[in-house]
Amino acid sequence: MSFSPVSAAHLADLLGRSGQGCALWNAEGLLLMATPAWCQWLDVPEDASPIGQPLQGLLPAQIWQVHGPRFTAAARGLHQEYDDIRPGDSGSQHHRRIQLTPGAADAQGRHEVLMQLSDIGREYARGEVIARQREQLQALHEQLRSNRQNAGELGRLRTLLDWRTAMLSEHNEMLQLLSHEIRQPLNNASAAMQATLKAIEDLHLADAAPAARALLRAEHVLQQVIGTLDNTLTAGTILAAGGKAGASSETDLPTLIKLVLHDIAADLRPRIDVQWLTTARTVQLHPALMRLTLRNLLNNALAYAPADTPVQLRISESDEPLALILEVVDQGPGISEELLPRLFEKGSRGNHSHGRPGAGLGLFIVRSVLQLHQGTVQALPHSPHGTIMRLVIPQGLAE
């Protein structure tokens, strides 16, 4: 793999604008691309010319001692994810999550590696706040238990319970804020990578194909991170906090479908065949949760079905009962009889999920969202092979 100096500088400039720390080196350990944020975090001198240099020789010895074993493992094809902490001003600390994604291997089995840095300072701060809240809740629990024997303390107990509810509400609001603060840079990085791919095509560079493939892999990683983040935060806030999703609203169905398709990695979208079997354009549902639900189902179908097969998204309706019907149809291996009873349980993953990222939250989120809509989800066999995930969302229900 090789980069021309023009294309490497152009890539670093475009990715650097997103504020993300990114770097790419080939199977021989030669740096092909690096953003300023990456150089700053790894103490690469500003006046250095890092492109084309060996990674080990470029990094300071103490930095290589910390990260070298991880880089070596990634070069052997092993995905790496770990947190790095650096001292800041006035005794503060800076936190970054490092992901090392192996790429193509050469004849000796050495892999190219894409490195990404994500600022997780707010996540660590959130953990400290949650730990304090847990201590407060534990103290509250002990106080409530000691006061249950005294009927005269009923008013005080109610006040304490209200305080607990307020703390949980504050916790959920902070998780929502965290969701926005983390997701927005990831979305910006994904948009920057798509813009970079377009720019590479416009430059008509003879050796741009390896860079384009690396960026596509990077976009897939970002989409996986965004999907996992959305699923985790949804499970931990809206669905776990008493089953409250907020009121559904009149939603423009074509707009919702466009947003869902935009959430899918750009190179996978052509595989999705949207089939409109209804004239309905406005429906009653919770748009954000339904968008996440459809994204989970489409990503599952695209991941497990053969790469050369289409995935259908069918949109229809029924009169008795009045309902919107959404179906995701794939030509994958199907769902085993053993897995089917626990398919929608939290943490459940199939026999074909080995080596695929995820925490088993996707279908749990799907079922929870349909329950909030008083609807149903079914996993049905598709002849001659594959699966139909059918969502039935009642319409015309009183709030």
Alpha-carbon distance of 112 to 105, in angstroms, equals 6
Q: Does any domain span residue 399?
A: no
Alpha-carbon distance of 160 to 144, in angstroms, equals 8
Alpha-carbon distance of 399 to 392, in angstroms, equals 17
List Cβ neighbours of 112 (8 Å cut-off, separation of 6 or more).
1, 24, 25, 26, 27, 32, 102, 103, 104, 105, 214
The residue written with tokens 């085993």 in the block is: 336
pLDDT one-digit tens code per residue, 27-63: 999 999 888 889 999 999 867 788 889 999 999 999 9
Lowest mean pLDDT among 42-56, 100-114, 156-170, 296-310: 156-170
| Cα dihedral 282/285/286/287 (nearest 10) | -30
Are 26 and 110 in contact by the 8 Å Cβ rule? The answer is no
pLDDT > 60? residue 75? yes
Residues 92 and 195 in one domain: no
Alpha carbon separation from 344 to 356, 361, 388 (Å, rounded):
18, 9, 14
Q: Residue 62 sits in a domain of what CATH number?
A: 3.30.450.20
The CA R_g of the chain, rounded to the nearest whole Å, is 25
pLDDT one-digit tens code per residue, 251-270: 999 999 999 998 888 889 99
Residues 377 and 250 in one domain: yes
Higher pLDDT, 256 or 201: 256
Arithmetic mean of pLDDT, 136-140 = 84
Please measure the distance between the N-terminal and C-terminal CA atoms of the chain and give it in whole angstroms: 58
pLDDT score recorded for residue 1:
45
The DSSP element (H or E) to which 303 belongs, if any, is: helix 287-304
Local confidence band at 3 (pLDDT 50, 70, 90 cut-offs): very low
- Enclosing domain of residue 174: 137-239
Task: Count structural domains, the chain.
Answer: 3
The mean pLDDT value of the chain amounts to 80
Alpha-carbon 103 to chain mean position:
20
| Cα dihedral 127/23/226/235 (nearest 10) | -30
pLDDT score recorded for residue 6:
46
pLDDT score recorded for residue 354:
47
Alpha-carbon distance of 47 to 131, in angstroms, equals 43
pLDDT > 60? residue 240? no
Q: What's the predicted TM-score (pTM) here? A: 0.48
Residue where a domain stops, chosen among 222, 239, 256: 239
Q: Does any domain span residue 132?
A: no
pLDDT score recorded for residue 261:
94
Arithmetic mean of pLDDT, 310-331 = 95
Q: Does any domain span residue 131?
A: no
pLDDT one-digit tens code per residue, 343-383: 888 767 655 554 555 556 789 889 989 998 999 999 999 98
